[in-house]
Copies of this chain bind each other. A is one copy, B any other.
Amino acid sequence: MPLNILVTGGAGFVGSHTVLELLNAGHAVICVDNLCNAYGGGAGSKLPESLKRVQEITGASVTFYDVDIRDREQLLAVLKKHKIDCVVHFAALKAVGESCRIPLKYYQNNITGTSILLEVMAEVMNTLLLAAGVFKIVYSSSATVYGEPQKLPLTESHPTGSCTNPYGKSKYFTEEIMKDLCESDPRWTVVSLRYFNPVGAHKSGRIGEDPNGEPNNLMPYISQVAVGRRDHLRVFGSNYDTPDGTGVRDYIHIVDLAEGHVKAIDKLAGGSISGFCVYNLGTGRGYSVLEVVKAFSKASGREVKYEIVDRRAGDVAASYADVSLAAKELGWTAKRGLDEMCEDTWNWQKNNPNGFAG
């Protein structure tokens, strides 16, 4: 059944790919984004470049509002105008390093922003006397909430909260707030999706990750080295307790991740779950930094120069998911492997060497 889905932060990397899959699945998408991390758009309702391209790819249209979710009045107006069935909440800041330098900015955007969104949802639902079934939200969480893994693979029951940076804490605090909300009012259902390491791009090569400034994450960094925007990659530590000594992570193709959101919405809309639910989204398979470098070189046909440097504070040796719960309850499994992740990243990068700016 087609639904009206409000997507916050829909102009970003995960947001735009999810909007695309939601449109492909026949849903109507109403998007709000403050464009703080997007190219183009603005002036009230002008589409950012990422969503323009999503429209071109899908042939479907997105209703867009240039709105910051912390602006209660504007957000309320959007929710009153559209009969929303379900919310997918991406809007958040995500740069770990910046979060350590400017923590209040992260707490304000991520926690206050989410609290206002939830309050506005409740206000609309209560005011308009809609059915109980509309208190439904999919939340963009992260494996960072697990802190340092006590046991691998990480299951959803692994303890959370020992996060080493404000970004991670803001994700953890937000999960706790949503959990308390569900305990306080059984009309709410929250699906928190804990992402491992999203990489890759849509097959079209028209949308992909377009980080501001120096990338925080491995794959966009490698990709910018391969395309010649950066000289070489720094590999943080080669003496971890892993097969080749470099850090091991669970990379997941962005299109698999986006499909996971569509499955989560099917589940939410189906009404067979309630309260606060959590699912890992990963492949269940870890790859080391050097394995990713090698796979990317193969996919791109370019050399990726790298240098081994000291470990980075807060990094763990290895992190990968137990993905059985999402398979069992959402009927979702990641289908795309490391080679495809690298090929699709490269396809995006070589066609858009400077991201959406051209």
Question: Chain A residues in contact with chain B, CB under 8 A?
Answer: 100-104, 107-108, 111-112, 115-116, 118-119, 122, 161, 166, 169, 173, 176-177, 180-181, 183-184
Contacts and interface: CB of A to CB of B under 8 A. Distances in A.
5 contacts: A103-B180, A103-B181, A108-B115, A108-B116, A111-B111
Contact of A184 (B101, B118, B177): B101
A103 B184 contact: yes
Contact of A107 (B111, B122, B166, B169): B111
Contacts of A103: 177, 180-181, 183-184
Chain A interface helix/strand/loop/mixed: helix
Instruction: Determine which residue in A100, A103, A119, A176 has the highest number of CB atoms from chain B within 10 A of its CB, and name it.
Output: A103
Nearest to A178: B103
Given A107-B111, A115-B107, A119-B108, A100 B184 contact: yes
A169 B160 CA distance: 14
Contacts of A108: 112, 115-116, 119
B161 A169 contact: no
Contacts of A100: 180, 183-184
B119 A184 contact: no
A102 B169 contact: no
Contacts of A177: 103-104, 107, 166
Contacts of A102: 184
Contact of A104 (B107, B119, B176, B183): B119
Contacts of A183: 100, 103
